[in-house]
Amino acid sequence: MKIALIPGDGIGPDIIEEAVKVIHAIGEKKQISLEFNTYLVGGSAIDHTGTPLPEDTLKGCKESDAVLLGAVGGPKWDTLPGHLRPERGLLGLRKEMTLFANLRPAILFPQLKSASTLKEEIIGAGIDIMVVRELTGGIYFGERGRVEETRSAYDIETYSEDEIERIVRIGFEIAKKRKKKLTSIDKANVLETSRLWREVAERVAKEYPEIELQHMYVDNCAMQLIRNPHQFDVMVTSNMFGDILSDEASMLTGSLGMLPSASLSSGKLGMYEPIHGSAPDIAGQDIANPIATILSAAMMFRYSFEMEAEAVMIEQAVANVLEDGYRTKDIMEKDMKLVGTKEMGNLIAEQI
Ligand code: NAI
Ligand code: MG
């Protein structure tokens, strides 16, 4: 397995190092041959090469089986013009690799219940929702502009049947491996793109008779997520709705440092990264929580390598370490054992 590593900026290098430890532990245990290549994107790339997305990074990523990324950006590069900013590197990479499906699990480990803003009786045994967001189409990529005469502005949402079909299909495939329940989120009472979205979802559903498909309006969904999150398992939705709902869902868990993500294309190549940013305020201090990145590595085994047992092994190792009472500073509670970034990585690797 050829893995492209992009540590990036801020805490990126701190957390990637720990994820690599855990991947190595799996490699040793399961006799998997692993090749790591490190590339630059974002601020560190700007400093070394003058551009946020160097050519050899793009080439190296495309030739790999998976990309594992830390985070990019920081105040140091804030004054640069738009096309030279660190985020450009990340957006460019997603676009060039046609990563059209963004998977954002909202997982609340039962050991961290009190981090959530929800009441205990609503959380129950924990939360586990998968949001599948379309990432390369819709209003964020549509025509936009200003009309001087009318003193107005516009953004246009367009979705083709093909774009809808490929993302909805990913939703069904994931639902198949989970609780066989898929909720498609739209605004079909108002938007034409949403009515097309429903038609396509219904058509694809015929190929998945074992999956229960439910449609829900986005505004209702925003309420239902807080009222009763357990009614959801896999949700699939458009770019903008997914942006908002995935942030909402992830915060039900209350711990930014714990949440992974995957961005997939139609092949096996995917990019895996924590949902948090580069946290420049705590970079290089051995206090960042590496778990979001380690769980991203688990997703890499699941979706790019199709090694479910290895993915579960990593997730179980994380749960065991939490169960043993170890916590990084961001998730620290009374009577628990405070550990740094490196020790947390070591503990999880040792579990494996
Ligand atoms: P952030 O997610 O980096 O940090 C928000 C807060 O959460 C900070 O107090 C930080 O210390 C804490 N935090 C984040 N990750 C943590 C972890 N693993 N362990 C412990 N604490 C953690 O978001 P912020 O401050 O808005 O952005 C900082 C920089 O990151 C900016 O330059 C931003 O553009 C960039 N960013 C990059 C992203 C990416 O690479 N995908 C995503 C979001 C922001
Ligand atoms: Mg967002």
Q: Has residue 195 got a pLDDT over 90?
A: yes
288 is in an annotated binding site: yes
> In terms of domains, do 302 and 341 share one?
yes
Q: CA 321 to CA 65: how far, in whole Å?
A: 29
**pLDDT tens per residue across span 98-137:** 999 999 999 998 888 887 888 888 888 889 999 999 999 9
Distance 51 CA to ligand 1 centre (A): 22
> In terms of domains, do 223 and 139 share one?
yes
Could you identify the residue written with the tokens 């008779």? 209
284 is in an annotated binding site: yes
Q: Average the pLDDT over 219-233 and give the result.
A: 96
Residue 109 lies in a domain: no
> In terms of domains, do 34 and 48 share one?
yes
- Ligand closest to 104 (CA) is 2
Q: 207, 224, 252: which is the final residue of a domain? A: 252
80 is in an annotated binding site: yes
**pLDDT tens per residue across span 33-74:** 999 999 999 999 999 999 999 999 999 999 999 999 999 999
> In terms of domains, do 137 and 94 share one?
no
pLDDT at 266: 87
**For 76-90, 175-189, 225-239, 261-275, which range has the lowest pLDDT when averaged over its residues?**
76-90
Q: CA 299 to CA 316: how far, in whole Å?
A: 13
Question: Whose C-alpha lies nearest to ligand 1, atom 40?
Answer: 71
> In terms of domains, do 189 and 216 share one?
yes
pLDDT at 152: 98
**pLDDT tens per residue across span 143-155:** 999 999 999 999 9
pTM: 0.93
CATH for 274? 3.40.718.10
> In terms of domains, do 218 and 320 share one?
no
Residue 111 lies in a domain: no
Q: 232, 252, 272: which is the final residue of a domain? A: 252
Q: Average the pLDDT over 294-314 and give the result.
A: 97
For residue 294, count other CB atoms closer than 10 A to its CB.
28
> In terms of domains, do 191 and 273 share one?
no
Q: Average the pLDDT over 185-191 and give the result.
A: 98
> In terms of domains, do 70 and 165 share one?
no
For residue 124, count other CB atoms closer than 10 A to its CB.
13
Instruction: Please report, rounded to a whole number, the percentage of residues in the chain having pLDDT higher than 70.
Output: 100
Q: Please report the atom of ligand 1 found closest to the CA of residue 273.
A: 41
pLDDT at 125: 83
Q: Considering Cα of 232, then 237, then 239, then 241, what sign does the dihedral take?
A: negative
ipTM given for this complex:
0.98
> In terms of domains, do 48 and 158 share one?
no
> In terms of domains, do 226 and 274 share one?
no
Distance 187 CA to ligand 1 centre (A): 31
> In terms of domains, do 139 and 92 share one?
no
Partners of 71 in the β-ladder: 8
Q: Please report the atom of ligand 1 found closest to the CA of residue 289.
A: 19
Which residues are near ligand 1 (CB < 6 Å)?
11, 71-74, 90, 256-257, 273, 276-282, 288-289, 292, 330
DSSP secondary structure string, 16-45? HHHHHHHHHHHHHHHT---EEEE---THHH
pLDDT at 115: 79
Q: Has residue 251 got a pLDDT over 90?
A: no
Q: 205, 235, 252: which is the final residue of a domain? A: 252
Domain of residue 133: give its range. Answer: 117-252
